[in-house]
Structure 1
Amino acid sequence: MKTKQIVLGVITLGLIGGGIFAYILYSTFFTPNTRFETDDAFVYIPTDATVEILEERLSPFITDLDSFKSAADKKGYLQNIKAGKFRIKKGMNNNELVNSLRSGNLPVKVSFNNQETLHDLAGRIAAQIEADSISLLAAFKDKSFLNTNGFNEANSLSPYIPNSYEFFWNTSAEGFRDRMFKEYQRFWTDARKEKAKRLGLSPNDVIALASIVHKETAKIDERPRVAGVYLNRLRKNMLLQADPTVIYAIKKETGNFDTVIKRVLYKDLELDSPYNTYKYLGLPPGPIAMPDITAVDAVLNPEKHKYYYFVANVEKFGYHMFAESLTQHNRNKAQYIRWINSRKIKR
């Protein structure tokens, strides 16, 4: 009788212990453990994150960090924390949370356009991926990368074609740069290269000229005509005399790219800079800004005409008046100068 009681007692204790273990196991792995009210939330885990950093990133979203850590430790996640952007859904349990953080790295959309300098581009990208602006700028300026791929300091903005792209948030600075160079190579199809060749331009030349066209007019439908003017000038071995290049030269000379210049003065045209196309023949050493794809394609597909001059159209703002002769241009220019003086625009 005693033996039976002992056996029953042991079995009972075993069942109780098993029940407790099962309860703890269930609580650890399968009890909902989120604390946000929206349908989902996004967590950004940096590269080489420690357990402490992981806790810091998760604490706004998880009710019981200790039970999460216990589950994560048992599943081997704490020994191999993954970097990236992760979605966690309302009501997830620890098992689901760990699985999502282990294998659910989501891409982010990275967009940029019209950046004037590499510094601007680095800042724009750093706001969208993990890499900081200092590491991005160093990658952009890396001489080995530039020399290997046919670029230099002056045209180092050229490989970055403005658009929207998908990246993993934890992409490194070098990873971003190298991916963008692949996009640049994809952009320069055989058809685009052939069009550039027929114009007597290299891809880098096209981007330099497109940057001027982009700055001259925001009107996409006018860009092929403006591109045609500059190409006509290049063929005639005329100075481009593009005001945006003078503005860029002033900014580069002063080191202040935040300067707003609405009017180019005659004294500015004397600035001795390779970017001053009033003094130096041909294209500037590199782009004066990041041109839109529409500006690049405008250069590759220019309007064919006999215009050599243009000035802002004061009756149709945003557009320009074009002229074949200097006499006609001077009449158009006089009208523009009267308008700008009437607005008392000094600089």
Structure 2
Amino acid sequence: MAKKLENPYADRNIGLDSPEFLSNGKKPKKKPSVKSTWSKLRPLLTFVISLVIVLLLVFGVFHYVKEHYFDPVDVNDSAVVEVKIPKSSSLSTIADILYENNLIRNKQVFKLYVDFSDMASKLKAGTYELSRDMSFDDIIYTLQEGNVAADVIDVQFIEGRTAEEYGQKLVDNYGILKNTVHYTELITTGGDFVNEFTFLAEAKAKNDAKPADQRRKYLLEGYLFPDKYQYYTDASEEDIIRKQLEQFDKIFTDEYWARAQELNMDIDDVVTLASIIEREASNVEDFPKVSAVFHNRLNSEEYGYLDSDATQAYALGIKNRYNLTGEEKNTPTAYNTFWNNAGYPGLPAGPISNPGEAAIKAALYPDEEMMQEGEEYYYFVATDPETGEIKYSQTLEEHDAAVLEWQDEWAKADAKAAGEQ
């Protein structure tokens, strides 16, 4: 009987009857079952899903807490809310005030935030300007830095008044300044304003070039533009003066500067003349006419002196008087413009008041009819003290007659003013 041969394709039977060992002596690899794979992946997927759920919950809670407790009350509302924090206020009191003004969402959260930031002892009393778009940090920083909104006060500077009068008014009428010491120093020297404003630098250079006895009293006189301003009650002398100088710079336009050059005048000449016009005429409608008289004198070799009582009165500190004595007129000063041995021809050392725009414009645009060649007016005199009416004359004879007519009325007005002082 023939011998049965062994199957030469024994390995091919794998998968049919899955022998325990292959022909090479190794066990065959089993295919992983779906059940086995899921059992391995399930813990990982469970962890990932749980982590995502936890993160979503944390994010949701964080967003909710942030939105309802920490965020600004209204990010679109920047309107100023004035808040007063009394002295010795506790953190709880401050939180109550902020909450009552709808500046924070929750008092307890605010207090915890301040305590956690270690800022409770650093919040200061005062009056503050806050808004509903401010965050906790914004509010805390403001209260810590003492960004106090001082009370605002309206200050009216009247045309034709002197720098000295302005300073005293700030002390006596408004209480912004405690005294005029530093203010006087600034209006005398110009301080750092000389470096900020070109017109002041030019005025200073012009003044410094003169002999000592012909220099002006206050460098800033004439440039403290009279107007209505708003100042904080704790404003400094620099704050007050800077606003006036900025306003002057705004008012004195390029047109005015070009006109001054046409008249062969610089800014200081214009302001000086305008200040005299402001003091000599009571009514605005007289400004161009008074200006014409002064221009006629300045342009004349015969009438080169202004003969203005106002300039000498300024130098001597005389106020509310029509008449100067002979001695006063003959007193040498840098502002004496009388046609005598004590006075100087032309304009005085500097402005004698702070003129408004009407006077500045009049200095630049005098009444042309009163300046026509052969019909120039060289004199004027105030008549009725009550109305401030002025009479203009072309000749000395006409002028002397007007003076004689009204001198008694001036004397009465001077006596009345002296009695009221």
TM interval, short-chain normalised:
0.5 to 0.7
**d(CA) in 2 for partners of 1:196 and 1:315?**
33
Does residue 261 of the first structure (1) align with residue 321 of the second (2)? Answer: yes
CA deviation string 1:149-203 (max 9, x = no partner): 2233543223311112344555433344344333322222110111222222211
Q: 1:309 to 1:289 in 2, by over 3 A?
A: same
User: 2:390 corresponds to which letter in structure 1?
Assistant: H
**2:313 alignment counterpart:** 247
**d(CA) in 1 for partners of 2:254 and 2:179?**
35
Q: Which moved more, 1:128-137 or 1:305-314?
A: 128-137
CA deviation string 1:299-328 (max 9, x = no partner): 122112121101122398311110111122
**2:388 alignment counterpart:** 318
Is contact 2:305–2:337 with CA below 8 Å preserved after alignment? yes
Does residue 140 of the first structure (1) align with residue 204 of the second (2)? Answer: no
**1:122 alignment counterpart:** 167
Q: Secondary structure at the match of 1:311?
A: strand
**d(CA) in 1 for partners of 2:121 and 2:344?**
62
Q: What is the CA distance between 1:342 and its match in structure 2?
A: 7.1
Q: Secondary structure at the match of 2:344?
A: coil
Larger CA Rg, structure 1 vs 2:
2
Q: Secondary structure at the match of 1:321?
A: strand
Is contact 1:213–1:226 with CA below 8 Å preserved after alignment? yes
Does residue 331 of the first structure (1) align with residue 376 of the second (2)? Answer: no
Is contact 1:69–1:78 with CA below 8 Å preserved after alignment? no
Does residue 183 of the first structure (1) align with residue 247 of the second (2)? Answer: yes
Is contact 1:307–1:324 with CA below 8 Å preserved after alignment? yes
**1:111 alignment counterpart:** 156
Q: Indicate the percent of aligned positions where both proteins have the same amino acid.
A: 21
Does residue 201 of the first structure (1) align with residue 261 of the second (2)? Answer: no
* Alignment equivalent of 1:68, drawn from 93, 108, 118: 93
Is contact 2:154–2:229 with CA below 8 Å preserved after alignment? yes
**d(CA) in 2 for partners of 1:260 and 1:77?**
59
**d(CA) in 2 for partners of 1:133 and 1:78?**
37
Does residue 273 of the first structure (1) align with residue 325 of the second (2)? Answer: no
Q: 1:173 to 1:73 in 2, by over 3 A?
A: farther
Is contact 1:211–1:289 with CA below 8 Å preserved after alignment? yes
**d(CA) in 1 for partners of 2:414 and 2:147?**
62
CA deviation string 1:208-259 (max 9, x = no partner): 11111111112011111111111111011421001111211222xxxxx6x5
CA deviation string 1:23-80 (max 9, x = no partner): xxx9xxxxxxxxxxxxx9896xxxxxxxxxxx7xx35xx9x66643576965858647
**d(CA) in 2 for partners of 1:141 and 1:338?**
38
Q: Secondary structure at the match of 2:327?
A: helix
User: 1:217 corresponds to which letter in structure 2?
Assistant: A
Q: Secondary structure at the match of 2:381?
A: strand
**1:151 alignment counterpart:** 203
Q: What is the CA distance between 1:267 and its match in structure 2?
A: 2.8
User: 2:228 corresponds to which letter in structure 1?
Assistant: S
**d(CA) in 2 for partners of 1:292 and 1:246?**
21
**d(CA) in 2 for partners of 1:141 and 1:80?**
41
Is contact 1:116–1:290 with CA below 8 Å preserved after alignment? yes
**1:51 alignment counterpart:** none
Q: Secondary structure at the match of 1:200?
A: coil
**2:353 alignment counterpart:** 289
**2:11 alignment counterpart:** none
Q: 1:197 to 1:139 in 2, by over 3 A?
A: same
Gaps of 5+ in 1: 1-25, 27-39, 44-54, 89-96, 252-256
Q: 1:65 to 1:221 in 2, by over 3 A?
A: farther
CA deviation string 1:59-116 (max 9, x = no partner): 5xx9x66643576965858647598x7579xxxxxxxx98997778476544322474
Q: Secondary structure at the match of 1:165?
A: strand
Is contact 1:160–1:181 with CA below 8 Å preserved after alignment? yes
**1:226 alignment counterpart:** 290
- How high is the TM-score relative to the length of structure 2? 0.55
CA deviation string 1:240-282 (max 9, x = no partner): 001111211222xxxxx6x543422233221111211102101
Q: Which has the higher contact order (CA 8 A, sep 6+)?
A: 1
Q: Which moved more, 1:237-246 or 1:117-126?
A: 117-126
Q: Which moved more, 1:159-168 or 1:189-198?
A: 159-168
**d(CA) in 1 for partners of 2:242 and 2:386?**
43
**1:163 alignment counterpart:** 227
User: 1:229 corresponds to which letter in structure 2?
Assistant: V
Number of residue pairs matched? 283
Is contact 1:115–1:121 with CA below 8 Å preserved after alignment? no
